[in-house]
């Protein structure tokens, strides 16, 4: 019998993006990377050595597209609407889902809860932890009220042994917590390194695909919020989803950055409670119930997160600055967008913010990336600056242009329906959005063309003695 040829190759690797170059080039040559870290010399895995979890005899046959039926591999439905929606309609057998998040955000908690969901439907789960001992996982499961029938635990970090155990146990779902702790003896570098993470990802992908079993993998993120490890890992797996939270908020938002089986715009909303993560099926209602009606500097707006409209609250606080350059703090909205809006509001609508520190916040720890939020941000700023509360039944949406004009936004009708569902009765919106719009019963539409008109409509009604009336009445 001929032994497979062992051939190792030396390459130079970028520690951030995983780019390989055969020669020493100093720094990463990939134009999209520009990492400040020098390349590291490393040996690749031996070529030609058989790897556990994969062999040529077991390789997939060639299939004709027309012969395949979608119902042959139905998605596994989880008893959580939020999870199913984010996954694109359920868990696809053979897929690898990477769940990324900061330490403490709740990745292990969510994974254990998913293990419990699957096990309670009669499927077996192998939960592999390289970070926690079975006893620690037991403690968490007690907190979550999970007994743990059909949930099997393995404390292991050697990926070769993991793949071997997976083959012995043949679970219906495999969970790996976390990818950064895994290592392969065939790769001569430490756990968590670019080569190791890539190798472990590759092995798990092969196993999942060849056995048609879904694998959920936890992954750590770096300080700037991106996934730690090589970029290739993100290309490799089928779904990359981030579990996010704003500081001190109990809400957790599950957001996809990649999904081969569904949309990346869908989000799932959860709340971290004493008994783990609970799904928030109606986040608009949950946020609205915490609203203080007479608050100054708050405005409601409907945003679209995937297929779902959400009613969020934008809050703004202005206060005279003590600094030579006033501060602009944006939580949940884009910082550059806020700078643009303060400039436009000052020049085009008479909102004098140049001597003011400005803080803008989206309640509940949500993040808005739509320009549709522009109008609500400016109204909240105006409300705070003039110290007048907006009408609690009013909502506003619209994009603001540089000349202070209001521009239409997509799916205005769906936004209006969500507002009406939650009992709101007045909506300030761009005049250009009126085309083809049929307001739900009881909803008064206030179409405006410019930011100045919008401020007059939103704040002018509540004229306050402290407000210089010329602000509202000045010509366009």
Among Mg ion, ligand TYD, none, what does residue 140 contact (CB within 5–8 Å per kind)? ligand TYD
Residue 447 interacts with ligand TYD (CB under 6 A): yes or no: no
Site residue total, Mg ion (CB under 5 A): 1
Both tokens of 380, joined, read 């909240």
Q: Which does 105 bind (CB under 5 to 8 A by kind): Mg ion, ligand TYD, none?
A: ligand TYD
Q: Which is nearer to ligand TYD, 276 or 283 (CB)?
A: 276
Residues in 133-162 at the binding interface with ligand TYD, rule: CB under 6 A: 140, 143-144
Is the CB of 108 or the CB of 342 nearer to ligand TYD?
Answer: 108
Assess 104 for contact with ligand TYD (CB under 6 A).
yes
Determine which helix (DSSP H) or strand (DSSP E) holds 199, and give its type and residue range: helix 194-211
What's the CA gap between 367 and 359, in Å, rounded?
15
Residues 6 or more apart from 133 whose CB is under 8 A from it?
A: 155
How big is the CA angle at 292 (ends 288 and 293), to the nearest 5 degrees? 90
Residues 243-272 contacting ligand TYD, CB under 6 A: 272
Nearest distance in Å: CB 255, Mg ion: 19
Taking CB under 5 A as the binding criterion, the range among 46-54, 106-114, 145-153, 430-438 that sits at the site for Mg ion is 106-114
Q: Please state the closest distance from residue 107 (CB atom) to Mg ion, in A.
A: 5
Residue in 36, 41, 37, 48 with CA at minimum distance from that of residue 21: 41
Closest to ligand TYD by CB, 105 vs 424, is 105
Provide the token pair at 383: 């409300």
* Residue of 42, 84, 95, 108 interacting with Mg ion (CB under 5 A): 108
Residue 256, contacted partner among Mg ion, ligand TYD, none, CB below 5-8 A by kind: none
Contact present, 311 and 347 (Cβ < 8 Å): no
**Which helix or strand (DSSP H or E) is residue 195 part of?**
helix 194-211
**Looking at beta carbons only, is 140 or 150 nearer to ligand TYD?**
140
Q: Residue 129, interface with Mg ion (CB under 5 A)?
A: no
Residue 341 CB, shortest distance to ligand TYD, in Å, is 34
Give 66's contacts (C-beta < 8 A, 6+ positions apart).
none
Out of 13, 78, 87, 105, the only residue in the binding site for ligand TYD (CB under 6 A) is: 105
Identify the CA nearest to 233 among candidates 69, 432, 84, 16: 16
Up-side HSE of residue 277: CA atoms within 13 Å toward CB?
Answer: 29
178 versus 298: smaller Cβ distance to Mg ion: 178
Phi (first) and psi of residue 47, to 5 degrees? -90, 140
Build a one-symbol-per-residue string for 268-297: x at contacts with ligand TYD by CB under 6 A, - elsewhere: ----x-xxx---------------------
For the chain, helix, strand, coil in percent to 5 are: 30, 25, 40
Strand-strand pairing, 10-13 and 40-43: antiparallel
**Cβ proximity to Mg ion, 128 vs 395, nearer residue:** 128
- Helix, strand, or coil (residue 256): strand
Taking a C-beta distance cutoff of 8 angstroms, is the pair 432, 408 a contact? yes
Residues that bind ligand TYD (CB under 6 A): 101, 103-109, 140, 143-144, 272, 274-276
Binding site for Mg ion (CB under 5 A): 108
């Amino acid at each position: 019998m001929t032994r497979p040829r062992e051939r190792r190759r030396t390459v130079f690797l970028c520690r951030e993006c995983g780019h390989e170059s055969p020669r020493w080039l100093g720094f990463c040559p990939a134009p999209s990377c520009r990492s400040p870290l020098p390349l590291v010399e490393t040996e690749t895995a031996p070529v030609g050595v058989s790897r556990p979890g994969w062999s040529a005899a077991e390789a997939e046959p060639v299939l004709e597209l027309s012969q395949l039926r979608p119902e042959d591999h139905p998605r596994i439905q989880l008893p959580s609407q939020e999870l199913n929606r984010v996954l694109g309609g359920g868990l696809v057998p053979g897929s690898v889902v990477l769940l990324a998040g900061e330490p403490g955000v709740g990745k292990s908690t969510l994974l254990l809860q998913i293990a419990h969901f699957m096990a309670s439907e009669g499927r077996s789960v192998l939960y592999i932890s390289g970070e926690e001992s079975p006893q620690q996982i037991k403690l968490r499961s007690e907190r979550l009220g999970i007994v743990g029938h059909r949930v099997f635990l393995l404390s292991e970090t050697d990926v070769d042994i993991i793949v071997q155990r997976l083959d012995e146990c043949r679970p219906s779902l495999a969970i790996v917590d976390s990818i950064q702790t895994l290592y392969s003896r065939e790769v001569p570098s430490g756990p968590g390194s670019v080569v190791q993470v890539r190798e472990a990802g590759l092995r798990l992908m092969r196993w999942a695909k060849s056995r048609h079993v879904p694998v959920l993998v936890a992954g750590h993120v770096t300080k700037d919020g991106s996934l730690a490890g090589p970029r290739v890992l993100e290309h490799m797996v089928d779904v990359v989803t981030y579990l996010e939270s704003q500081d001190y908020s109990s809400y957790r938002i599950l957001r996809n950055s990649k999904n081969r089986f569904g949309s990346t715009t869908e989000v799932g909303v959860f709340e971290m409670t004493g008994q783990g993560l609970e799904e928030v099926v109606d986040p608009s209602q949950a946020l609205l119930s915490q609203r203080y009606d007479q608050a100054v500097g708050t405005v409601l707006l409907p945003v679209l997160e995937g297929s779902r409209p959400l009613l969020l609250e934008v809050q703004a606080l202005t206060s005279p600055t003590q600094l030579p350059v006033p501060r602009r703090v944006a939580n949940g909205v884009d910082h550059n967008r806020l700078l643009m809006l303060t400039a436009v509001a000052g020049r085009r609508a008479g909102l004098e913010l140049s001597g003011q520190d400005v803080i803008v916040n989206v309640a509940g720890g949500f993040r808005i990336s739509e320009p549709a939020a522009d109008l609500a941000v400016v109204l909240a700023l105006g409300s705070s600056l003039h110290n007048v509360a907006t009408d609690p039944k009013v909502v506003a949406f619209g994009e603001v242009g540089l000349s202070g004009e209001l521009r239409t936004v997509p799916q205005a009708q769906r936004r209006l329906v969500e507002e009406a569902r939650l009992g709101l009765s007045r909506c300030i919106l761009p005049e250009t959005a009126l085309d083809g719009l049929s307001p739900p019963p009881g909803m008064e539409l206030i179409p405006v063309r410019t930011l100045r008109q919008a401020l007059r409509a939103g704040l002018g009604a509540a004229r306050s003695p402290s407000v210089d009336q010329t602000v509202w009445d000045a010509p366009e």
